[in-house]
Amino acid sequence: MDNRLNFILNKYNNELKNYVYINDIRNINEKTSIRYISKNNLSIKNGYFRKYIDPNIIELYINSNKIWCIYADKYYFFYKKSNNDVMRDSLQSLVDSGFKIIKKN
């Protein structure tokens, strides 16, 4: 991570608790809670991912009735892991560590 990103993580430590930095916004699922921080002035905002308009423009739900379009290259993105993500990561770490299920007679 670059120094600017480390600065952001320290500055917004409370706001980014339970959020994970993501380098490629295309890996976010619809309706995922995200926080995004301007690369220009370091202001923090939040919303829910809606869809891609093109590779660099995304739509976000800001409120239940407002949709914003933003340029992905202008922000640092952090997403909140869903319970499914946490469960998948936990199970994958078990598999990676050699965990095996053995049928007991």
Burial track 67-95 (b if 16+ CB lie within 10 A, e otherwise): eeebebeebbbbbbeeeeeeeeeeeeeee
> pTM (2 decimals)?
0.76
Domains of the chain: 3-96 (2.30.30)
Rg (CA), the chain: 17
Query: Is the distance from CB of 25 to CB of 77 less than 8 angstroms?
Result: yes
- Tens digits of residue pLDDT in 53-83: 988 899 999 877 799 999 999 999 999 877 7
Q: Please give the mean pLDDT across all residues of the chain.
A: 87
Q: What is the pLDDT of residue 1?
A: 53
Q: What is the pLDDT of residue 29?
A: 84
Q: Give residue 12's pLDDT band: very low, low, confident or very high (50, 70, 90).
A: very high
- Tens digits of residue pLDDT in 18-63: 899 988 887 788 888 999 999 999 999 999 999 989 888 999 998 7
